[in-house]
Structures are given as C-alpha cells and as structure tokens.
C-alpha cells in the first residue's frame, strides 16, 4: 500500500474504532486490523506539514521532530500539545465553526488522532526508506518595490530577572521619498533560535507627541539599543496600525490581491522583536522585507480599536475586578466610527488582529451583517507569546452603520488591585485590529 493509501485507511480506522494501547507487541492494533501507526508512514508527513519549520536543527523549537529518535522521546509532549491545540501556534479557531483563515497552522482532528494513535501503538518507527514529501516551502516576496530594513545588531537582555523573554522596540525611519502602499512583507531573523515573533507598528511621529515619546524611551536605556516595549510600541506611543505581524514558519505575507496599506512619506515603523532566550542569547540583526506599490486598485484601511484602552487614555478609566478566574468586558462600535470611512456603503473585512496582554484568556469578534450576527473570529486559548494577524479565506461584507461586537475574558487571580486599560503589561487591552477595503 502506498504511504497515502496507508494513511487514509488508518485515519478511517481511527475515526471508527478505539485504539488499543500496546507498546511492545506486533499484534493487531486497530479493530483487528494489521495497520499500525508508524513514524515514517503516518507521523512524519504531519510533522513536516505543521511543525518542522520551527522544530528542526537550528530552529526556534527546543527539540527537533524530523529525527525519529528525538521525536519518539518527545512523542507524549507532541501528542498532548496537539490535542490541547497549544501547538502548532495558531490563535484563532480554524475549524470552520467561526471562519477559516489563510495559511492556517491548524491540525485537523484526524491528524491529531494519528499522533495520539502513534503514542498508543508504541511509537513505532516504520520504514525509514519510504519516500516522504519535503516540508512545504514558505511563500516569498517577488517583483519590484521590495525594500529591506534591518534592526540594529542587538544582544538580547531579559526584560526581568529570571525571565527568558525580551521584547525590544527599534525605530525604523522609512525614508520612502513619496507616499506608497505596503502590499506584503517578510521577516528574516538573524538568529532563528531567539526571534520568537516580530510586530511592525505604523507610527506618525507628529501625532500625540510620538516623536519625543520615542526619543525619551530610547534615552531611558542608554546601555541598550532601542527600548523595552512589552505592551505594543512602547509606553504612550500611539500607533495607527500593525502592518507587519510575523511568527516563525509563516514565510512572506501577501495582502489580498489588489489591496495595500497607505504609507505616508513621513510614516515610521516601530519594530517590536520578541526574543526568547531558552535556546540561545546570541546577538541578532533581523531583516524586514517590505513590498511596496505606487498604486493599488483598492486602498485598504487598517485601524486599531479599543474602548477599554481609550477610557484610560481619556482620563475616565474602567477597571477589571482583581482576584477572579474570569473577568469579561464587552464593547461594540460601528464600522464608520472605527474606520472614519464616509464615502462608501460597506466594507469587506479581510483581516483581524486580536490583542490582549498576559492575563488574557479568550476573545470573540462578531459582526452585524445583512445575514444576521456573524462570527468573525474566536480565540479560545489566548497566548500573549504568539501574536499575529489573520486574513479570512472569505471576506465579510459589513455596512458602515453595522457594528463589530467584541468580548474579552481575563484571569486576574494573581492581581491584588483592579486593572485598567493601558500600554504596559501591568495594564490590559481588549483591542482589535481591522484590515478592511471600502466598497
């Protein structure tokens, strides 16, 4: 039987029967069948598709999965992480119950069942000579208009004593020479073992005293390049959008065809690089590749919106109750209010960026549409350390007078005082980024 046929038969059997757990015997394993799960036949193709981009020699993952002996040693952890959906890292539900998203790192239920069955069957090796497809090649940028910007050569320093995390911001002056449109991006870490994710915040230096705020943040740490910025682009730095959201294994991101984000000549990017020092603490110099176009068919509007944060900024903060396993906050606003679009009847919602801080548990984003209330995205297990934007496979059409409804849920058990909205990790956010195109 071919590898594909073997795997298909196996999945069917798993779906219909209960696996017997027997590590040492070569007796039948699934409902009397002689088909047994093996690493090379069944498991490695799944790992290649979803895990090898990080869990390979020299990668960010703490162990490799493209070697049988090491994968076997970590098999129980691999299966448990897959079953709980903490790995592969993917923040929004992609089951189809609340949309599906472009390039989702999402294991199908049948694939999770195969990993569980491999553990139960004894983590058998199988035929090492079988031909296994190579891991998928990540997308790349191409064409004219590509500009490379580089973060300074930087030696990561933990944000707190005993921590392995460093969130550092670097100011990038674009010096474009003219207004243009950003249509895609890619990130090439200088050190694959430390760069955990990269966020690029669009900042207008002339708004809300941004230029001086960033200068002061940089000057406050003269012994380091850039400044600490766990929350976003730094304390009190007001941002207009997050056009760059990258995590390892994603490859290049291309915005929906014919669309792009307007970038003014004087716009700057604040690049937040999250370094994880569990594997290495060597210096890094990360390249961000930006793909520009002079014109696009449909200019996009990217906004960030968070009434919980704005209440604090405007001097009338709302507070989350401390000492609770679950504290919820809900808000809603019209598309017109959030985007300031006035010359259209509706928008197509292409992209969503959910954002909370470290207390976050869950978030739901729903839209009023002509078809009724429609689920935009659902975050069931918020993980502050894995953040990115998500593009919908099929955009949602939402009228300017129709609302987006957001619900955030936090765990405040470790807090001894109420928590307000703010930019630092001592504060919280219930923020959503939108990538929309007016109709």
**Residue 330 domain flag:** yes
316 and 293 both lie in a single domain: no
431 and 311 both lie in a single domain: yes
286 and 184 both lie in a single domain: yes
278 and 322 both lie in a single domain: no
Query: Which of 297, 314, 333 marks a domain boundary?
Result: 297
For the chain, 439 residues long, give each residue's pLDDT as a single digit of tens. 334 444 444 443 344 333 333 344 344 444 334 578 999 999 999 998 888 888 888 777 889 999 999 999 999 999 999 999 989 888 899 999 999 999 888 999 999 999 999 999 999 999 999 887 788 777 788 888 999 999 999 999 888 888 888 999 999 887 777 899 999 999 999 998 889 889 999 999 988 899 999 999 999 988 889 999 877 898 889 988 889 988 877 788 999 999 999 999 989 999 999 998 888 888 999 999 999 999 999 999 999 999 999 999 899 999 999 999 999 999 999 999 999 999 999 999 999 999 999 899 999 999 999 999 999 999 999 988 787 889 999 999 999 999 999 999 999 999 999 999 988 778 999 999 999 999 9
What length does the chain have? 439
CA torsion 274-187-182-234 (nearest 10°) is: 10
**Residue 384 domain flag:** yes
Q: Model pTM? A: 0.81
Quick one: which of 182, 216, 218 has its CA closest to 200? 182
**Residue 126 domain flag:** no
103 and 170 both lie in a single domain: no
Name the residue range of residue 218's domain.
146-297
Question: How far, in Å, are 149, 362, 422 from residue 357 at the CA level?
Answer: 28, 11, 10
**Residue 159 domain flag:** yes
Provide the 3-class DSSP secondary structure of residue 162: coil
* Cβ partners under 8 Å of residue 381, min gap 6: 84, 85, 86, 91, 361, 362
333 and 345 both lie in a single domain: yes
343 and 292 both lie in a single domain: no
Query: Which of 249, 279, 297 marks a domain boundary?
Result: 297
236 and 371 both lie in a single domain: no
**Residue 372 domain flag:** yes
Q: What share of the chain is helix, strand, coil (3-state, %, to 5)?
A: 15, 35, 50
> How far is 422 from 295, CA to CA, in rounded Å?
36
Question: What is the per-residue pLDDT across 407-438, written as a single tens digit (0 to 9) for each?
Answer: 999 999 999 999 999 887 789 999 999 999 99
Contact 278, 193 (CB under 8 A): no
Query: Which of 246, 264, 297 marks a domain boundary?
Result: 297
**Residue 7 domain flag:** yes
* Cβ partners under 8 Å of residue 375, min gap 6: 97, 98, 99, 364, 365, 366
Which run of H or E residues covers position 219?
helix 210-219
Q: Which two tokens mark 362?
A: 């869950």
165 and 107 both lie in a single domain: no
216 and 85 both lie in a single domain: no
Question: What is the per-residue pLDDT across 222-281, written as a single tens digit (0 to 9) for each?
Answer: 888 999 987 789 888 998 888 998 887 778 899 999 999 999 998 999 999 999 888 888
Instruction: Find the CATH number of the domain harbouring 272.
Output: 2.60.120.310
Q: Which two tokens mark 69?
A: 């002996």
> How far is 107 from 104, CA to CA, in rounded Å?
9
Quick one: which of 84, 65, 286 has its CA closest to 170? 286
Crossing angle (nearest 10°) for helices 75-84 and 109-120: 150
Q: Which two tokens mark 305?
A: 């919106």
Question: How far, in Å, are 180, 338, 346, 423 from residue 368 at the CA level?
Answer: 32, 14, 12, 29
Number of domains in the chain: 3
CA 269 to centroid of chain Cα atoms = 19
Q: What are phi and psi of 272, to 5 degrees?
A: -95, 115
For the chain, percent of residues with pLDDT exceeding 70:
92
**Residue 130 domain flag:** no
Question: How far, in Å, are 115, 325, 381 from residue 359 at the CA level?
Answer: 31, 10, 11
Q: What is the pLDDT of residue 26?
A: 42
């Amino acid at each position: 039987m071919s590898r594909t046929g073997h795997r298909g038969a196996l999945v069917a059997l798993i779906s219909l029967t209960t696996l017997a757990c027997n590590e040492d015997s070569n007796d039948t394993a699934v409902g009397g069948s002689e088909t047994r799960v093996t690493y090379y036949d069944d498991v490695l193709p799944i790992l290649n598709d979803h895990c090898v981009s990080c869990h390979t020699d020299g990668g960010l993952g703490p162990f490799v999965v493209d070697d049988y002996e090491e994968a076997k040693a970590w098999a129980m952890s691999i299966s448990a992480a897959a079953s709980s959906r903490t790995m592969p890292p993917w923040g929004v539900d992609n089951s189809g119950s609340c949309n599906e998203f472009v390039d989702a790192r999402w294991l199908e239920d049948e694939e999770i069942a195969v990993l569980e069955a491999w553990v139960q069957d004894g983590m058998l090796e199988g035929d090492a000579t079988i031909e296994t497809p190579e891991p998928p090649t990540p997308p790349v940028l191409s064409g004219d208009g590509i500009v490379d910007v580089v973060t300074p050569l930087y030696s990561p320093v933990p944000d707190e004593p005993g921590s392995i995390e460093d969130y550092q911001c670097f100011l990038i002056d674009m010096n474009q020479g003219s207004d243009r449109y950003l249509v895609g991006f890619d990130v090439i870490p200088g050190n694959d073992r430390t760069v955990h994710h990269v966020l690029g915040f669009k900042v207008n230096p002339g708004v809300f005293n941004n230029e001086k705020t960033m200068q002061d943040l940089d000057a406050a740490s003269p012994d380091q390049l850039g400044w600490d910025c766990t929350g976003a682009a730094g304390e009190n730095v007001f941002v207009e959008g997050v056009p760059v959201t990258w995590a390892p294994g994603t490859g290049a991101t291309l915005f929906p065809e014919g669309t792009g984000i307007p970038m003014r000549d004087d716009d700057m990017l604040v690049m937040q690089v999250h370094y994880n020092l569990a594997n290495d603490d060597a210096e890094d110099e990360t390249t961000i590749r930006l793909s520009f176009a002079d014109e696009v068919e449909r200019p996009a509007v990217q906004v960030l919106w968070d009434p919980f944060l704005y209440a604090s900024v405007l001097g009338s903060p709302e507070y989350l109750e401390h000492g609770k396993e679950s504290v919820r906050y809900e808000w809603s606003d019209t598309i017109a209010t959030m985007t300031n679009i006035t010359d259209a009847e509706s928008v197509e919602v292409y992209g969503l960026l959910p954002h909370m801080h470290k207390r976050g548990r869950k978030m739901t984003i729903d839209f009023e549409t002509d078809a009724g209330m429609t689920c935009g995205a659902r975050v069931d297990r918020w993980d502050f350390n894995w953040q990115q934007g998500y593009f919908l496979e099929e955009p949602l059409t939402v009228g300017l007078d129709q609302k987006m409804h957001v619900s955030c849920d936090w765990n405040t058990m470790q807090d001894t005082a109420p928590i307000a909205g703010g930019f630092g990790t001592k504060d919280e956010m219930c923020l959503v980024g939108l990538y929309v195109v007016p109709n």
